[in-house]
Amino acid sequence: MSVFEPFDSFSDIDDILFKLEDEDPGIRQVGVMELAETASEDAVPHIIGALSDPSDDVRLQAARVLQEFDGETVAAGLADALQDSSNTVAAAAADSLAELKSPEAALPLLPLTTHEKPFVRANALRALKGLRHPEALKPGLAALQDPEPEVRMQAVGVLGYLQMEEALHALILAGRDSDIEVRRAAVGALAFSNSSTVSEALIKAISDEAWRVREMAAETIGKLKFADGTDALMSVTEDEYWQVRLQSVRSLGKIGVARAIPAIVGALEHSISNLRKDAAAALGEIADAGALPYLEKALGDPDPEVRKNARWAIGRIEAA
């Protein structure tokens, strides 16, 4: 169903349809836009029909406006448009597919997960992710073996959104994928389970050769508040990449273990103010008196946000 209320000026679809027959592709484009503005489900078949227009611009317009509608019929039309001769139209169809919300829209997409074209496979999975249809589990698992990294990454997204225990082992294995972005996505997708096997996988991932994977592992440990990951997080508070340091400090604050204070306070001296700010906040979350000397020193920081967080942290510690 469209999210827009119907416009009275376009309430009669029959008054618009003649524009789709005009010789001028510009007029046909206008017709497609006006059909969409009716927000009527009766307009959907005509807009889908415009996906077969000889003009790239008309097909592009149709692919774009279909994101305002939903359902199995829309999904089927957009799925066909993924194979359009124009890459621009196909990309627009992929973007519109990703906006679908109705679970039944998943059904036309499931067969496309084994399509011969990687672009089609990847975008079918991308659309399936948000729909969270249980039947996407099997094709999602199968797609983790796809030769294309983009397809594997989208498969990880599907499985992560489903949050089903049946996918847990496969996601842990995907955290060892040869592609950095697949590993990163898989590590992030583990955030739905607090099992010991996930904890072990995340601790291993925090030593990954790629900093983006280490960063995501640190973030996921914090989301799950895995106390077992404290030592691993402490080990990367001096990572060569400040992004990893930042996330490890944030996560140590969420876990709230006082023995992490010595690892966090070093970040209060870092040249990047965002890192100093988050370090002060993390110490406030832990709320242990052992952090007071460091926070009092941070009250003289040149960045007002750091000083603000230091004051907040001191207040929390004194109130504890």
In a domain, 192, yes or no: no
The separation between CA 68 and the C-alpha centre of its own chain, rounded to angstroms, equals 21
User: How many separate domains does the chain show?
Assistant: 1
In a domain, 57, yes or no: yes
In a domain, 114, yes or no: no
In a domain, 316, yes or no: no
Structure tokens at 259: 């023995």
Q: What is the pLDDT of residue 211?
A: 98
Q: DSSP labels for 271-299?
A: SSHHHHHHHHHHHHHHT-GGGHHHHHHHT
Low-confidence ranges of the chain (pLDDT < 50): 1-10
Residue numbers of the domain that contains 3: 1-108
Q: What's the pTM?
A: 0.89
In a domain, 127, yes or no: no
- pLDDT of 117-153, one tens digit each? 999 999 999 999 999 999 999 999 999 999 999 999 9
Structure tokens at 129: 């992710």
Q: What is the pLDDT of residue 14?
A: 87
Q: What is the pLDDT of residue 246?
A: 98
In a domain, 265, yes or no: no
Q: What is the pLDDT of residue 53?
A: 97
The number of beta carbons lying within 10 Å of the beta carbon of residue 137 is 16
In a domain, 37, yes or no: yes
Q: What is the pLDDT of residue 15?
A: 86
Q: What is the pLDDT of residue 10?
A: 45
Structure tokens at 229: 């990951």
In a domain, 260, yes or no: no
CA dist list (Å): 241 to 148, 209, 235, 247, 282: 28, 12, 13, 10, 19
Overall residue count recorded for the chain in this entry: 320
User: What sign does the CA torsion over 120, 75, 142, 210 have?
Assistant: positive
Q: What is the pLDDT of residue 188?
A: 98
What's the CATH code of the domain at 66? 1.25.10.10
